[in-house]
Amino acid sequence: MNNLFDSIQQSVRDYYTDKVLAFGETPKGVDWNSLQSQELRFDQLLQICDQDINFSLNDLGCGYGYLLDYMRKKTLEFTYRGYDLSEEMIRRARVRHVNSGNCQFFSNNDALQIADYAVASGILNVKLNHSTADWEQYVLSTLHTLNDFSQRGFAFNVLTSYSDQEYMRADLYYADPCFYFDYCKRNFSRNVVLLHDYDLYEFTMLIRKN
C-alpha cells in the first residue's frame, strides 16, 4: 500500500507543481476555475471552525496559501499550518507570507501536528490515471489523516457523483456523498454535516468531534 500511495503522491506532486509553474499564484495555479468559486469552497470548509475564538488549523494541500489570505481577510484569530506535496507550492507560500505571523508551511506530512481543526480543499479530485479503486483507498487514508491530526473536527470537499454525465472526466474522481457520509459517521463521529447546496458540482463534509 505504501508503494501505491507513494506513486499517487508523486503524480499529484508533479501535476500541481506544473500548474503553479504555468499559472502562478492564481486560482488556476491550484487548478480552480475562479477566485469566486475558490472562496465559496473556503466558506463551506470554515464552517467547521468556531470562529468566535482563537483556534489552530491544519490545511492539507494548502497550495500557495490562499486560505491563509482569506482567513486574514475575514479577521479571524488563528494559528495556521499549511502542508503541500509540492515543494514549489510551499516555496511560494513561504515567500507570499514571509511577514505573516502565526503561520508555517511544510512540504512533508511527517511534520503534521495536531490542531483544533483540519481541512482539505480540492486534493481529492484529480486522480489522473490511477484507478478509482486505488484512488478511493488514498482518499480514505487522507480522511484518517485529517481525523488523526484534528482535535475538534475536520472538513473536506470532493467532486460529486451527482454530476452531469456528459461533463464528467476520466481523470477526475466523483465521489458518492452518501458513501462518505456513512463512512464518516461510522468511523469518525456521530456529528457529520453534508453540504451539497452551494451550486458547485461537489460537496463538503464537516465532521465535528465531541
- pLDDT tens digit sequence for 89-102: 999 999 999 998 89
24-33, 151-160, 168-177: range with lowest mean pLDDT: 24-33
Question: How many whole angstroms separate alpha carbon 148 and alpha carbon 155?
Answer: 13
Here the CATH number for the domain that contains residue 158 is 3.40.50.150
Model pLDDT, residue 31: 92
Q: What is the mean pLDDT of residues 127-154?
A: 98
Cα angle for residues 42, 137, 108 (degrees, 5° grid): 60
- The residue segments making up the domain with residue 176 are 2-208
- The candidate with the shortest Cα–Cα distance to 60, out of 109, 3, 131, 7, is 109
Q: Name the percent of the chain lying above pLDDT 70.
A: 100
What is the sign of the dihedral through the CA atoms of 9, 11, 16 and 17? positive
Strand partners, 206: 155, 193
Q: How confident is the model at residue 172 (pLDDT cuts 50, 70, 90)?
A: very high
DSSP 68-135: HHHHHHTT--EEEEEE-S-HHHHHHHHHHTTT-SSEEEES-GGG---EEEEEE-STTSB-TTS-HHHH
> In this structure, what C-alpha cell is assigned to residue 156?
473536506
* Helix 2-23 / helix 87-96 crossing angle, nearest 10 deg: 50
Count of the separate structural domains present in the chain: 1
Strand partners, 106: 83
**Mean pLDDT estimate for the chain:** 96
Q: Above 90 in pLDDT, residue 109?
A: no
* Backbone angles phi and psi of 209, in degrees to 5: -100, 155
